[in-house]
A = this chain, B = another copy of it.
């Protein structure tokens, strides 16, 4: 067989499995796998450093199928290369409950899937984080251990999404030259020809963002290979626009939007198989093709063995640190350092904002945890994320731990997913709390994938003050608590802030979000507790005095001091009240019923106070319980006036309580 014929046989195997998988499921997307099979075959057989026997080998090249709807392309590749767990039977169970082959690729579910994709733009933006992670780790551990590329297969849709443009600009700025995007330039979208909605010159737009970019015939394997060679030689990230035909091989649907998102149907499928020289029988491949794929997939075995030898030859301490970092285990001294910090904070209480308290905590944590990589979406002086010991990451300069993400909240959040997925680093990035709305699709993916990303969200209420309602979160605590598998922390003072940081960093499978104030708060934790009280999610901060509690007051963050003041007012009126701090509802909800009941208590009156909407508090205070907070958007004014204007005061809390007695 000529090399060209060999290539076609390998590529057509992908097409065949993709068509059959979608046909059997009667659901899915055959168009992309058929169109991009040549590009993927060139990448996997000639370039990708990937050993199917060890799909998680740390120094592997990453491959991100940003166009996640073309999942059968990836599943076919994982099966053809021989990744354990992705069997032919699983391909036959495409899109069925519990299969290894869900509709879109899911990280942590299918071996060899580097990130969950499907929501367009996320894959390419996540890949930017992976490519950055590689450079950060290489700067720290050297090219003997960390020396790989990140490849992305992206669609028109990926490039139309704003998040991708944010990430592309960041990658171009930082000169992430090991990032190579293969753009499946098929000119077709769901609504029809791309010309219905788009006229962008993609090559020029990438160049404007500092990338190397070129166009090739996406069905010419040698042209694709030559372009990838040029990309690998560039000192810039590269985009290769591969002109392809969607649904390549399908007699009637090829090149049309009909090929995109539904099974071909028996007749079209038969026609495609005949045109491509494939056996008609479902899931059958021409003789020798599977073996040829498996053989091709042994390409990187030697590289992996060489890498393992280099790792083995390392100094034991350095090796242990590398392995700890890659495994994602927290450093030995972290908890002790935080304990010592807590003791100091309790002994020397400070009236500071929790964003400042976070900075104080980070001064300790960044020393104790070298893998923590911080950054901000251009609000560094407001988010208090840049501690003194952090060097800045810049264009081609990766010996640093602080990233100026630019005014790109969504790109930052997606890149942080990539940093976490790459491994070896733990990303924490910051913006104003209200702009969690901009990050939300990437936050959701972090939660769905279960990766450790920390969001530092400051200016978390009307306490932001004069910037007004566009910048004041009102519904955001509720909306974030709604996301499954996301821990939303809202600490009340420096000690709680340190505890919440500790919890966020310890949760290896759950992203954490810290909601922090702009304004100063009176400290409430002034005696040291070695136990992390926030770990329970909610705890009694102040017991009732002078008898059994008639009132339980619940609050988070900046409103805890209001609840404490209300307790004093109530005491002065002879009403015994206790205060429960609720720094993390998710952790509280996960407690045993007995713990929850004990914390909630049996006082006849329950009132919650939080400078946000009520939604999400009823399970604690009851649907008939009291609530002091917001019921609409905020306003522009100094924050103390706003608290008074919106009635979020100790007096109002006390009134709500007494009116219910």
Contacts and interface: CB of A to CB of B under 8 A. Distances in A.
A190 B437 contact: no
A478 interface: yes
Interface in A284-318: none
A263 to B, nearest CB: 11
A117 B448 CA distance: 32
Nearest to A380: B191
A484 B475 contact: yes
Interface in A150-172: 156-157, 160-166, 169-170, 172
Nearest to A193: B404
B169 A200 contact: yes
A411 B164 CA distance: 13
Given A191-B404, A380-B190, A407-B120, A482 B208 contact: no
A157 B377 CA distance: 10
- Most-contacted residue by chain B among A156, A173, A395, A637 (CB, 10 A): A637
B166 A160 contact: yes
A406 B484 contact: no
A97 interface: yes
> Which of A161, A623, A632 has the most B CB atoms < 10 Å from its CB?
A161
A302 to B, nearest CB: 36
A95 B466 contact: yes
Given A470-B448, A484-B474, A637 B378 contact: no
B633 A484 contact: yes
A435 B119 CA distance: 8
B190 A201 contact: no
Interface in A591-619: 613, 615-616, 618-619
Interface stretch (A54-62, A98-106, A334-342, A524-532): A98-106
Pick from A169, A202, A379, A407 the residue with the most CB of B within 10 Å.
A407
Contact of A104 (B467, B478, B645): B467
B468 A103 contact: yes
A445 B184 CA distance: 35
A408 B164 CA distance: 11
A454 interface: no
B160 A408 contact: yes
Copies in the complex: 2
A153 B166 CA distance: 20
Nearest to A624: B622
A210 B205 contact: no
A407 B161 contact: yes
A572 interface: no
A465 interface: yes
Contacts of A483: 475, 479
A463 interface: no
Contacts of A632: 484-485
A376 interface: yes
A162 B619 CA distance: 37
Contacts of A118: 467-468, 470-471
Nearest to A405: B197
A519 to B, nearest CB: 13
A441 B438 contact: yes
A48 interface: no
Interface string A71-115: 000000000000000000000000111110011101000000000
B613 A619 contact: no
Contacts of A204: 204, 207-208
B162 A471 contact: no
Contact of A408 (B69, B161, B448): B161
Contacts of A507: none
Nearest to A28: B466
A256 interface: no
A267 interface: no
Given A162-B408, A379-B190, A466 B197 contact: no
Contacts of A149: none
A199 B177 CA distance: 15
A514 B537 CA distance: 35
Interface in A225-244: none
A631 interface: yes
Contacts of A99: 636
Interface in A483-500: 483-485
Contacts of A376: 191
A189 interface: yes
Contact of A200 (B25, B192, B209, B411): B209
A378 B189 contact: yes
A156 B197 CA distance: 26
Interface in A435-458: 435, 437-438, 440-441, 444-445, 447-448
A197 to B, nearest CB: 3
A533 interface: no
Contacts of A622: 622-623
B162 A162 contact: yes
B106 A468 contact: yes
Interface in A536-580: none
Nearest to A614: B619
A641 interface: yes
Interface in A38-73: 68-69
Contact of A407 (B160, B199, B379): B160
A656 interface: no
Contact of A189 (B161, B191, B407, B475): B407
Given A161-B166, A482-B613, 6 more contacts: A102-B468, A104-B467, A116-B470, A197-B405, A484-B632, A485-B632
25 contacts: A27-B466, A27-B638, A106-B468, A118-B468, A118-B471, A121-B162, A157-B378, A157-B407, A161-B162, A161-B438, A162-B164, A169-B199, A173-B198, A190-B379, A191-B378, A199-B395, A202-B208, A204-B204, A205-B209, A437-B440, A438-B440, A478-B479, A478-B615, A479-B482, A618-B619
